[in-house]
Amino acid sequence: MSIRATVKSILGEENVRVLRRLKRRLSGKWTKSAKPSGLEAISNDLNKLALHFKTDKWGTHRYTQHYQRHLQHLKNEKFNLLEIGIGGYNRPGQGGASLRMWKQFFPKAQIFGMDIQDKSFVDEDRITTFIGDQSDPSSLNAVADKIGELDVIIDDGSHRSPHVLTTFATLFPRLKDGGIYAVEDTQSSYWPEWMGSEDRDAPNTSMAMLKRLADGLNYEEFVDENYQPSYTDLNVVAVHFYHNLVIIEKGRNAEGTNKRKALKQRYAKS
């Protein structure tokens, strides 16, 4: 009988396996990794992170499931994320929950927040806050100048339509191609008390502006020969509407059209 067989018969199969595992550990070949715990264990799940940090992006709302879908490709990338509105209003020491959530989900990203109140107590490694007024283009541009390249912009500010429109008009042109722009809490668009309108066709609400973006995706199909495409017509490639949340993808929108072939009679006249 070989030495190996003799040892196995004396110690038994289970004890031999234990000795083998011990030998691998001592030799540095042990590969079994400990299961992650704490924040690390939920760092890939935005819903769970939202609950942990107590942001209303999950629970009160159902936003993080959509953010996970649209931002997952940036999970381990270096990029800049700006969120308008830090939370807590003017209550001392309140706010910053979603900024902390973003920091945990994106381990290589720089997270920026802007609020009309001083939220500098939130600042830490990879989180920087600014005081700014989203109803003032010069204030928005000053913050954007300090950040530099903008890859993701989230408007979770006042939710007042005039402010949402001003912020979008100012910052969307500064968003990087391939970037994501999100507008939260669009329900306020329908509330006169929040500078919205009961009239769903009112032209100056945040939802009216966002719905126009959907038309603009198809500007090449318009038959008005005098129509001049807007900046957003040319630079929005997708608009995703969810309950109280709209996510916009930026890129070059110029796929072409077959309208002259499909509408031969109309264009034969020209």
Using only C-alpha atoms, the chain has a radius of gyration, in whole angstroms, of 27
For residue range 70-87, what is the model confidence (pLDDT) as tens digits? Answer: 999 999 999 999 999 999
Which position has the higher pLDDT, 92 or 114? 114
Write out the two tokens for 4.
Answer: 């190996």
| pLDDT of 174 strictly over 80 | yes
| pLDDT of 9 strictly over 80 | no
Instruction: Clarify whether 61 is annotated catalytic.
Output: no
The structure tokens 């916009």 sit at 248
Report phi then psi at 57, rounded to 5.
-70, -10
- Torsion angle, CA of 162/163/165/169, rounded to 10 degrees? 130
Cα dist from 74 to 97, 140, 175, whole Å: 20, 24, 15
What H or E segment, with its residue span, contains residue 81? strand 80-84
| pLDDT of 1 strictly over 60 | no
Average pLDDT, the chain: 92
Q: In the prediction, which pLDDT does 22 show? A: 64
pLDDT-based confidence at 257, cuts 50/70/90? very high
| pLDDT of 30 strictly over 50 | no
Distance CA 33, CA 16 (A): 22
pLDDT-based confidence at 99, cuts 50/70/90? very high
Neighbours of 139 (CB within 10 A): 18
Query: Residue 249 in contact with residue 235, Cβ under 8 Å?
Result: no
Q: In the prediction, which pLDDT does 136 show? A: 98
Catalytic residue among 52, 66, 159, 163: 159
For residue 182, is it left (φ>0), alpha (ψ between -120 and 50) or beta? beta
Name residue 53's amino acid: F
Q: In the prediction, which pLDDT does 235 show? A: 98
Mean pLDDT of 184-197: 98
Percentage of residues in the chain having pLDDT higher than 90: 82
For residue 164, is it left (φ>0), alpha (ψ between -120 and 50) or beta? alpha
For residue range 220-250, what is the model confidence (pLDDT) as tens digits? Answer: 999 998 999 999 999 999 999 999 999 999 9
pLDDT-based confidence at 35, cuts 50/70/90? confident
Helix (H, G, I), strand (E, B) or coil at 154: strand
